[in-house]
Structure 1
């Protein structure tokens, strides 16, 4: 889960990491900052490259802030609506560095990247200056690797970068982070440093042992709808395309993503990602009802594909819950293609066939996908 910059900086500042003064503005009449200009106004959207996309603007006076916020809040950047901006005190006269810590899963280590050329060109011309290394997952090990990569820098700069590596390495471990990227890492002439920008990706699965972070996400549910949904409901349901035409009821994150890739490869538009976690349903159709209600409210869904590959899950029980959920959401009027494979599939097929519902049963995955796509396209033609 990628944190918005403002929240990432609030988390870091709360742990003692120096960041530029800043406030969050969610409307044009939001309280203005009490620190002096000049300001940098940053759109809070979940992707990088905001500067080149027009999402970072300079502002020289406090009086000009409302008009600038009026231009930025509500605009769309790369398809994402800007719901808020961070107003930040501009930093001048500092040298810019780049520092990144990320989990490298194949080697169970931390990838460390450092560059004396931070800023917007780090992925372009600045990439030639990148220094890379690996460390064990531990605060001291990460700090030592940052110090090694910085050992040939001038004394004042080296001391600041090393101090940053120690502080950020400790937080990377403490927060169960998957990525902590500071770009730019400002180093002032007096040897002090601060995080000019922060990209922080947290591990959703670690949130049960991060109560403060979980509380933040709940409090900011409007900004983190997918994660807030998972915290509240216990499973993943992510709208990928609000205008998508095929709704998915699936389990298993990897299998679900593979199915989405296959649909896109066929030119189809999946509405959602879903890992409904059948093993946690425990005889209750509530999760299925919630998913089907979301699909019933979607404006362009033309078919639904249910794909459950079961190991321990009793597919007969799941089939019974699916029938109950469909009866509870009569607004579902589109074709429903069902593929259930695994433990109890024969009994499940019998339950579905005897339900009286107009379900299309198909045990072959490719055929089920093709059928869902065909039904979707037929529905689109009928609607036109």
Structure 2
């Protein structure tokens, strides 16, 4: 039980130890008409970095290992007794007005969970595995010229706008019990420096990407969507220049982040830690220059076979850097096609369970009980 953390966070988030000019700097977002609750979330996330980072995982309330759609259940809660501090969701499926997202989660249920999360003071972030508008195939179809097709003069620009309109309806429908629009950390075109999605850098020039990003942000604002904080997200890169090559500019992003997964045995290969530390150093420098927040927007080690992954590998890969949140990927469970388990946070009895509890009990890891509505959105 981290019973001390609420007092610590209350002191921190009330601004007792925060200089006035620091608060003023962090509340400037990419949307000049950002809702008060969204602006407060940004401010409080900024201040929280002095204490630690929010932790959570994708689709945490929808399903887990060997269960699905059980009211109030969550693998993280099963293990720790507490809910995550941050929850990931996906918009994939809204393109076609589908009832469910790309992973089968009903949007009706998703909206209810996002409301519950907001009401109890948690934070939600969203990605969008958008189908390829050029070919009609999925997000992983990298047919040449796909990205160019959604440029303002592109052949699929109007189709892209209609898909955005569907997401506008979704974002505007997110309301808390207080009737206020629920703030969302929105991560479009994620992992853009990879080569596996139709929007990645192998399929778009820097100028094209920046133009679409800016158009998208401006389009949301023009439609009255003012509850988004925009998360610029790359895969692993090796230099400041590479990270910023496709960056739309400080006026069009609120949080800068990257995704990375552990694929090797961390007891024999320390490259995951080393590479993350190098990239966090780059992000830290940019964030300080531009008054941005940083995040580890997607991370994981499938099936977590190393029993000290949390307190050893993951924490060491973050090091001294003050980041806003860490989001582990989803606990899908058994994959029939691949004949293996697919999960990224432990469940009861999993080999890293004890280490995850130790990770949970650390001062710097912030879960649901470490935050509250009054602290995050006011």
TM value normalised by structure 1 = 0.27
| Larger RCO (CA within 8 A; separation ≥ 6) | 2
Using the size of structure 2 for normalisation, the TM-score is 0.27
